[in-house]
Amino acid sequence: MDIHVVWALVAALVLIVGIALVAWALVQRKKSPTLPPAHQPQLAEELAIPEEEKKEPERDVPEDGSTRMRRLRSRLAHSANPFGKALFSILTRDNLSEADWEEVEDTLLLADVGAETSQQIVEQLRKDARVEDAQNSLAIREMLRTQLLQAVQTDAHGQAYDRELELHAQPDASATHVIMMVGVNGSGKTTTTGKLARLLLGEGMESIVLGAADTFRAAAADQLQTWADRVGVPVVRSEKEGADPASVAFEAAERAEADAANVLIIDTAGRLQNKANLMDELGKIRRVTEKKLPVGEVLLVLDATTGQNGMVQAKVFAQAIGITGIVLTKLDGSAKGGIVISVQRELGVPVKFVGLGEGPDDLARFDAEGFVDGILGD
């Protein structure tokens, strides 16, 4: 064999072996990408998580209840047209005429107090006014305050309203108390659910679970999740839009029971395009939830600015689901404050909470004296 052919074969063999060794080395490097010991401390330092990133994300501290109603009173007193001020200005006129009394009644009607209740208040004011000197503004104001308080604090039969939540009326530490939130879309129901969780946390509730059972409205669960994340409250939700609301509510009840939570708050759908189907769905949510936990409270969220127009919607919910209380949103600065009186009289249940504005802590327990003093501008 020619010597040149031999050397060519040797060179080819060496080249093949070299390529094989390089390939093997690359495979081993991918399998075990460790650095020499000298470089490992540097790598560990680069990959270390800073201490500040290891901490829990900072959460909001909900405001306690002591300042919430004071803020509402201040806002009502400084609003453009609280009806109490208008009534006071009429009643302090000299020698009230029949036209003046008609103006008093019109003011009550415009404030959405309701026709029957407005007439009762005017009749009582006329009786009291006969024995009061119109020049004595303090006496007139106290007379008006007494009548408004009577209308706000009592039902059509003169019985005082009980505004306590079921969880406070029966504070069993081992029980999970369930609150269902109902109302039409646009009334602020989901936002109110988040604010109520904040309020209860601010009052000392240690463990709350939220159920996102409004599965038909786009982004409702995301909205509730945002509120919950701010205060570290878990949300049970479905990632699938249009999922069965009752199924979500049942899972939320299971989670609340497993966590031994103090409170479970369930946000529900509120579309009124088909009232029968909606009410059937709300009834199903309640029945399914009560397979795990009893529902102690059903709160109707109502937009105060809708006035008497909202009463029709309120009656539908009251008849279908059996509400135990009312949350009035957008009450601050409204000349429609009389809706507090009329909605209680119409539905036979008390206003338990009022929305003060857009802030995260702008939800307060309803306080009759604070409300009346606010609309009188005290």
DSSP state of 162: -
pLDDT digits 0-9 by tens, 57-76: 566 677 666 676 677 667 66
The pLDDT assigned to 2 comes to 62
The answer on whether 85 is annotated among ligand-binding residues is no
What's the Cα-to-Cα distance from 236 to each of 57, 176, 209, 249, rounded to whole Å? 20, 15, 8, 8
What integer is the mean pLDDT of 97-108? 92
- Whether residue 130 has pLDDT greater than 70: yes
- Whether residue 312 has pLDDT greater than 90: no
The pLDDT assigned to 326 comes to 95
The pLDDT assigned to 81 comes to 57
What number of CA atoms fall less than 13 Å from residue 214's CA on the CB side? Answer: 29
The answer on whether 189 is annotated among ligand-binding residues is yes
Confidence band of 241 (pLDDT split at 50, 70, 90): confident
CATH for the 177-323 domain, from 3.30.465.10, 3.40.50.2300, 3.30.420.310, 3.40.50.300: 3.40.50.300
Alpha helices in the chain (DSSP H): 3-31, 40-47, 51-54, 68-77, 83-91, 98-110, 115-129, 137-153, 166-169, 189-202, 220-231, 245-259, 275-289, 309-321, 339-347, 368-375
The fraction of the chain above a pLDDT of 70, given in percent, is: 75
What integer is the mean pLDDT of 271-277? 64
Q: Rounded to whole angstroms, how far apart are CA atoms 171 and 117?
A: 35
Higher pLDDT, 328 or 82: 328
The answer on whether 331 is annotated among ligand-binding residues is yes
Question: What are residue 263's DSSP bridge partners?
Answer: 177, 208
Nearest to residue 256, comparing CAs of 277, 280, 233?
A: 233
> Residues 58, 59, 65, 68: is their CA dihedral positive or negative?
positive
Tokens read off for 159: 């019985």
- Whether residue 19 has pLDDT greater than 70: yes
Confidence band of 173 (pLDDT split at 50, 70, 90): low
What integer is the mean pLDDT of 23-51? 51
Say how many Å lie between the first and final Cα of the chain, rounded: 120
The answer on whether 232 is annotated among ligand-binding residues is no
Q: Given phi > 0 = left and psi -120 to 50 = alpha, else beta, which region is 204?
A: left
- Whether residue 26 has pLDDT greater than 70: no
Nearest to residue 213, comparing CAs of 187, 241, 186?
A: 241
Higher pLDDT, 238 or 356: 238
The answer on whether 184 is annotated among ligand-binding residues is yes
The pLDDT assigned to 53 comes to 47
Strand arrangement of the beta sheet that strand 177-182 belongs to: 235-236, 208-213, 263-268, 177-182, 295-303, 325-329, 351-355, 363-365
Where in the chain is CATH 3.40.50.300?
177-323
The pLDDT assigned to 43 comes to 39
The answer on whether 270 is annotated among ligand-binding residues is yes
The answer on whether 183 is annotated among ligand-binding residues is yes
Confidence band of 39 (pLDDT split at 50, 70, 90): very low
The fraction of the chain above a pLDDT of 90, given in percent, is: 35
Rounded to a whole number of angstroms, the CA Rg of the chain reads 33
Q: Which distant-in-sequence residues (6+ apart) come within 8 Å of 51 by Cβ?
A: none
Q: Rounded to whole angstroms, how far apart are CA atoms 104 and 361?
A: 35
What integer is the mean pLDDT of 93-118? 89
- Whether residue 228 has pLDDT greater than 60: yes
pTM over 0.85: no
Confidence band of 247 (pLDDT split at 50, 70, 90): very high
CATH for the 65-153 domain, from 1.20.120, 1.10.3470, 3.40.50, 1.10.10: 1.20.120
Where in the chain is CATH 1.20.120?
65-153
The answer on whether 305 is annotated among ligand-binding residues is no
The chain-wide mean pLDDT, for the chain, equals: 81
What integer is the mean pLDDT of 229-242? 89
- Whether residue 222 has pLDDT greater than 50: yes
Tokens read off for 63: 């405001």
- Whether residue 286 has pLDDT greater than 90: yes
The answer on whether 188 is annotated among ligand-binding residues is yes
The pLDDT assigned to 298 comes to 96
The answer on whether 47 is annotated among ligand-binding residues is no
The answer on whether 185 is annotated among ligand-binding residues is yes
- Whether residue 132 has pLDDT greater than 70: no
The pLDDT assigned to 135 comes to 64
The answer on whether 154 is annotated among ligand-binding residues is no
Q: Rounded to whole angstroms, how far apart are CA atoms 367 and 183?
A: 22
pLDDT digits 0-9 by tens, 187-210: 889 999 999 999 999 888 889 999
pLDDT digits 0-9 by tens, 339-352: 899 899 989 999 99
Q: Rounded to whole angstroms, how far apart are CA atoms 145 and 139?
A: 10
